Amino acid sequence: EDFCDAAVREVLEETGVHAIFECLGAIRETHKGPFGSTDLYGICVLRVDAEKHSDSTPKPVLQESEIAAAEWRDLTEFLSAPWYAKGLYGSLLRTSADIGVRRRKGEEVGMGRAVMKGLGGIPESMYFAAGAAKL
């Protein structure tokens, strides 16, 4: 399952919120992940699907077996929490938040996605830097 499809599905399953993938905001790569493997951690920038929700901030409906709480938070307040004030994960979140805010203003930033046929004619995702992909 591709990054963007997994993010949209997980948000829906765990909160009941229908979302649309906008772009990848940031990716962390390590080669000392679980079991000594390479591990990628990606942050997807999503927006609420206005066709499915009349409210731009729909009330989350929790999947209690997966999460204990969900709420809409002020972005500045969230990013100023001590856990995100510095360090790698704070940088990932601040970078992704900045990309999300800039996209809302109409800027073409972040890593977009194009689906194309790859080896054997199987659809594959290509993620690309801001602007149009050279398809």
User: Does residue 132 carry a pLDDT above 80?
Assistant: no
**What is the residue-averaged pLDDT of the chain?**
92
- What Rg, from alpha-carbon coordinates, does the chain have? 16
pLDDT of residue 134: 74
pLDDT of residue 32: 85
pLDDT band at 61 (very low <50, low <70, confident <90, very high): very high
pLDDT of residue 77: 94
Q: What percent of the chain has pLDDT over 90?
A: 70
User: Does residue 9 carry a pLDDT above 80?
Assistant: yes
User: How distant, in Å, are the alpha carbons of 31, 67, 81, 94, 105 from that of 77?
Assistant: 32, 21, 7, 12, 20
Q: What percent of the chain has pLDDT over 70?
A: 99
In this prediction the pTM is 0.87
Tell me the mean pLDDT in the region 27-31. Answer: 90
Please check whether residue 27 is in contact with residue 44, taking contact to mean a CB–CB distance below 8 angstroms: no
**Beta bridge mates, 46:** 21
* DSSP characters over 11-57: HHHHH---EEEEEEEEEEEESS-GGG--EEEEEEEEEE-TTT-SSSS
**Beta bridge mates, 92:** none
Tell me the per-residue pLDDT of 75-104, one tens digit each, with 9 for 90 and over. 999 999 998 888 899 999 999 999 999 999
